């Protein structure tokens, strides 16, 4: 019984650590670098058809050039709403509409704004690290409880603790690597 529990525990810990990493990547996708990225506009919500919809449900987001995003709005009636939603998202961009196509030029970042974005990236990475460590702590607590209840031996506890720690270390390394890459992207002029 304890063996199956250990495998279930490890799968759960791995799933939760991967989840923290995926959330971090999603947050990084929304951080603006000097280049245009469709991820920048994806979280924007638009008033359309009497409700609030994600931007990608009222139009197609495109990246035709490194410093330009476009939104091809499907229904002409939503063009003004999409334009307003982009403007009100405080992304530091100024959308311009041409019929049903909205062009969103991406201005280059100032040095001050780059440093600000790098700090935000570090904050996101630290939140992900803390989440991974919390998952590790949960796993270690569970292993201690099992040892105390004599479901696993002291040797098994030591062995499984090491594998949980290795899992944690590998995820922390992945987070640090992705942070370094994002920081380089942000600081690139």
Give me the CATH number covering residue 64.
3.30.1360.40
pTM beyond 0.95, yes or no: no
Looking at the structure, tell me whether residues 95 and 129 fall in a common domain. no
* For range 118-124, the mean pLDDT: 89
* Residue 114 binned pLDDT confidence (cut-offs 50, 70, 90): confident
Looking at the structure, tell me whether residues 118 and 177 fall in a common domain. yes
Looking at the structure, tell me whether residues 115 and 176 fall in a common domain. yes
Looking at the structure, tell me whether residues 93 and 161 fall in a common domain. no
Distance CA 57, CA 81 (A): 13
Query: Which own/partner contact pairs does 96-102 have at CB distance under 8 Å and 24+ positions apart?
Result: 100/72, 100/73, 100/74, 100/76, 101/70, 101/71, 101/72, 101/73, 102/59, 102/70, 102/71, 102/73
From residue 56, give the alpha-carbon distance in Å to each of 49, 72, 106, 149: 14, 10, 19, 52
Residue 129 has what pLDDT? 96
The tally of domains found in the chain comes to 2
């Amino acid at each position: 019984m304890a063996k199956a529990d250990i495998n279930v525990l490890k799968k759960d810990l791995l799933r939760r650590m991967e989840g923290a990493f995926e959330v971090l990547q999603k947050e990084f996708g929304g951080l603006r670098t000097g280049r245009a990225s469709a991820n920048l506009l994806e979280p924007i919500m638009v008033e359309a058809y009497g409700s609030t919809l994600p931007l990608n449900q009222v139009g197609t987001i495109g990246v035709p050039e490194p410093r330009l995003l476009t939104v091809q709005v499907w229904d002409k009636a939503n063009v003004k709403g999409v334009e307003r939603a982009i403007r009100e998202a405080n992304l530091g961009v100024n959308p311009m509409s041409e019929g049903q196509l909205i062009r969103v030029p991406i201005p280059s970042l100032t040095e001050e704004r780059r440093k600000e974005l790098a700090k935000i990236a570090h904050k996101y990475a630290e939140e992900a690290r803390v989440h991974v460590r919390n998952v590790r702590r949960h796993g270690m607590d569970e292993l201690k409880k099992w040892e105390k209840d004599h479901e696993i031996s002291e040797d098994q506890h030591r062995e499984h603790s090491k594998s949980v720690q290795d899992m944690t270390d590998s995820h922390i390394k992945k987070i640090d690597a992705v942070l370094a890459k994002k920081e380089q992207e942000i600081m690139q002029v």
